[in-house]
Structure 1
Amino acid sequence: MDGAFSTTDLHRLDEAIRDARFAAAAPASVLLSPLAPHGEAAALTERECVFDHCAVLLFPTTLAEGLRHLRERGLAPLPTVPSTVVRGRLAERHGLDPAQCEIHITRLRLELPDGRRHAAVEVFLFPRDSAAFGERIEAVETTAGFENHTAYVVGRPSAPVLRRLVTAWQDEAGLLWEGGGHNPHEGGPAGSTVLYFVRDERHPALRRRFELHCAGDQREATADLPRSAQAVRRAYRAWPAAAQDTARPTTG
């Protein structure tokens, strides 16, 4: 590998940038599809949420080299913050010690079709010089894209709104609610809460993971909603096989 990123990672970064520009202008009915007819998922999402970002996990030679490459491309990476939730997801998936799993988050500012300049690509950086890095981890994550997702921000989060969104996304879009996490390092003094969703393998689509972001600690708002850990595990077990048949979206 001659530069900060592998050729594969550079291609995946370009895909994430194209995808974010598309998603910024696309209606929720397109991004969430397929949807059950006559439901409220799309309208509720349009009313209560705004598209925020698409995400990708990359493996730079070092954190400094990765950020330098992004700056030299004119992508204006924001200052990094440590990952809490993705670090935990990777540690669980690969049997890593979370304390050794060095994951950094940055955002890339893009010129969007509506004229906004917005930090519309979230990049998780797992440096190759991290103690927990391994080529097997890189191969699995690069092939499957488990951390690729499309994210919305909930404008005015409240328990009723969040509960309706979780229920509508599950019942009408086939998006299984995985749970959520609170990151005290992002989103202001109170941090931010993220709710995670994975596509039920019985409702295949190009976009396989979604997130809802909310300011503050909103974990109690949805704590008692039902979650099927078995269905989530089944969706992830089916993911590698499905990934062979479904290309990563660049225009939809």
Structure 2
Amino acid sequence: MISTRTPVLAAADLDRLTAALDLIGGHDTHSALAAAVPSLDADQRAAVTRHATLDHVALLIFPETLAGLADELSARGIEVGTMTPSVVVRERLSSRYSVPVADLQVGILRAPVTDRNGWPCELEIFVLVTPPSLAHIAEDERRHQRENHVGLAVRRPDPVLLRGLRTMIAGVMRPDGGGYNGYENSSVLYFRDAHRADPAFRRLELVATGRFPQLQALHQRESCAGTELLRLLTGAWATQAIATAAELRLLDHLASLGDLPSLAAATGTEPRSLARLLRYLTSLGVVHTAGDHHSLTDLGELLRSDLTGSMRPLALMYGGPFYRSFAELTESVRSGEESYAKAFGAHHFAHMATDPALAELFHGSMAASNAMFTGVTKVVDFSRARTVVDVAGGNGELLSRVLHANRDLHGVLLDLPNALAAAEPRLADLAERVSLVPGDFTRSVPADGDVYLLSRVLHDWDDDQCRTILATCARDMPAHAELLVIERLLPEAGDTDSLAIPWDIHMLCNTGGRERSESHYRSLLAEAGFELVETHALPLDAHVMRARLL
């Protein structure tokens, strides 16, 4: 007899069930993880799969009634067990569509299946009973498939292991909610990548037996895109808080004082206002607070003015002149021209040349990033060179490091007179091996060097000016000489975790220059007659590119 029973499920849901079964049958833990999180490298995926296995593939379906649902699924070869209440998905749907939780009947059905290697898995079916009044939810969820996901079960979970797995995945996928299901004593953490080409792998779930309230709270907080955006929007406040601490020399006083009254007296501040600043600096990781006592963290130590390599001048520059120029970023984006000149009436090099105190602060801020130079003498062999020419070398920090590491070298520092005046005391202990040469490096460079240094110079200029600088070097350098270019490099593609990206906007605002990728520099060098031989990474996301004349 042919059944005349009206189907419980829409054809669209039946097709999605079939697709979910095919997905499980076509994958195992390794391949599912590679498809869901391709940004993890092979070692990271191996680390995850040591602690988690493919557990299920899930989707949300929308029958108008539960009557006959199990039979209809069975007819499709999907044998489900007893339905259990859904807590997490029910709350997500309630929040997403502003429907009271009490008006949503959501359950979970599970059907045993196997992956492509025959290992047991489950098809996890979330069921939203969908009367006509909720049809709009079904239509929207089928279109966007927000609750579809691939689930990994964490074996032997503990807070440390689960936090580590969460951190690794959250580095490449956005946290997307989760929760605790008391009916099953399980915690779930969802992650989402809205840009994945295959919608079947846009969401990943970590499921772990037990309850982990602190980790869940962190995950929920980071799942709110608005929270993350507010953190970004308050970045300027963090800059000003650190700059204020630097201006007050608060970090210097924290090296010996810890109580609020003493700190307020030493800094000349109102105690209650200072307490609020200290609380913010604590949240930023610059200050450590325990009860009523305050002390420096490792980050805070970097801002002490009495330490070699202090980053205090950098904080004052970023919270002062550069902060003002960034207020004109919109105009820079519209015009393509630097905003520093709009804020101060002159290009920043010209402006600083007329203000000795500001020029000194700028040179100090440049020195604050000199940690990038620590790797140069380790990756570059200077043993066959006799003379090193530092072109536009500022206060001579890089040249000093090279000469101290190579006792037989002679150094030449080429720069404008005001820069040489700042460099002279820095190079005093090397005076017998250093020549200070005033000059305009865009017009000529000394012709007797074996190695030429261009450190953080090219990024100050547009491509045309870079061509002029490199062509000048190529014309005046001896045929055997090498050129070392030290810059931050923009990622070639995909990767966004590089200091070069925000620094590129900084250069747009403050010099009219730009950061570039390695391939961009390779092209500029080739146009000037250089071959880029090799590139080495340095601290602070810098790189040294070694080039030679063709």
User: TM-score if structure 2 supplies the norm length?
Assistant: 0.38
Moved more, 220-229 or 177-186: 220-229
CA distance in 1, matches of 2:109, 2:61: 11
Give 1 or 2: higher helix fraction. Answer: 2
Higher relative contact order, chain-length normalized (CA < 8 Å, sep 6+): 1
Counterpart of 2:58 in structure 1 is 55
1:60: how far off? 1.5
Counterpart of 2:122 in structure 1 is 120
Q: Contact (CA 8 Å) 1:56, 1:123: kept in 2 or not?
A: yes
Counterpart of 1:70 in structure 2 is 73
Aligned AA (1:214): A
Q: Secondary structure at the match of 2:25?
A: helix
1:175: how far off? 0.8
Counterpart of 1:153 in structure 2 is 153
Counterpart of 1:9 in structure 2 is 13
Counterpart of 1:162 in structure 2 is 162
CA distance in 1, matches of 2:228, 2:68: 35
Q: Secondary structure at the match of 1:64?
A: coil
CA distance in 1, matches of 2:167, 2:208: 16
Distance 1:214 1:232, change over 3 A: farther
Q: Contact (CA 8 Å) 1:128, 1:134: kept in 2 or not?
A: yes
Aligned AA (2:123): V
Counterpart of 1:197 in structure 2 is 191
Moved more, 28-37 or 210-219: 28-37
CA distance in 2, matches of 1:48, 1:205: 27
State the number of aligned residues. 222
Q: Contact (CA 8 Å) 1:51, 1:152: kept in 2 or not?
A: yes
1:214: how far off? 0.4
Q: Contact (CA 8 Å) 2:130, 2:138: kept in 1 or not?
A: no
CA distance in 2, matches of 1:26, 1:10: 27
Distance 1:25 1:78, change over 3 A: same
1:224: how far off? 4.3
1:95 to 90, 94, 98: 98
Q: Deviations over 1:103-124 (max 9, x none)?
A: 01001122433234x3521001
Q: In angstroms, what is the RMSD of aligned CA positions?
A: 2.5
Counterpart of 1:180 in structure 2 is 178
1:213 to 200, 207, 218: 207
* Alignment partner of 1:227 is 2:213: no
Q: Secondary structure at the match of 1:62?
A: coil
Distance 1:3 1:92, change over 3 A: same
Q: Secondary structure at the match of 1:227?
A: helix
Distance 1:113 1:154, change over 3 A: same
Q: Contact (CA 8 Å) 2:150, 2:203: kept in 1 or not?
A: yes
Q: Secondary structure at the match of 2:67?
A: helix
1:25: how far off? 5.7
CA distance in 2, matches of 1:8, 1:204: 22
CA distance in 1, matches of 2:216, 2:58: 24
Counterpart of 1:239 in structure 2 is none
Gaps of 5+ in 2: 230-550
Q: Percent identity?
A: 30
Moved more, 223-232 or 140-149: 223-232
Counterpart of 2:438 in structure 1 is none
Distance 1:95 1:159, change over 3 A: same
CA distance in 2, matches of 1:232, 1:209: 20
Distance 1:68 1:86, change over 3 A: same
Distance 1:65 1:146, change over 3 A: same
CA distance in 2, matches of 1:110, 1:23: 12
Gaps of 5+ in 1: 235-252
1:27: how far off? 3.0
Aligned AA (2:145): G
CA distance in 1, matches of 2:21, 2:228: 29
Aligned AA (1:163): R
Q: Contact (CA 8 Å) 2:191, 2:205: kept in 1 or not?
A: yes
User: TM-score if structure 1 supplies the norm length?
Assistant: 0.79
1:222: how far off? 5.3
Counterpart of 1:144 in structure 2 is 144
Aligned AA (1:70): L
Distance 1:233 1:209, change over 3 A: farther
Q: Contact (CA 8 Å) 2:190, 2:205: kept in 1 or not?
A: yes
CA distance in 2, matches of 1:135, 1:8: 14
Q: Deviations over 1:120-177 (max 9, x none)?
A: 2100111234xx8522111100111010000000001111211111111122xx2112
Q: Contact (CA 8 Å) 2:80, 2:112: kept in 1 or not?
A: yes
CA distance in 2, matches of 1:56, 1:153: 17
CA distance in 2, matches of 1:157, 1:25: 17
Distance 1:65 1:28, change over 3 A: closer
CA distance in 2, matches of 1:228, 1:9: 28
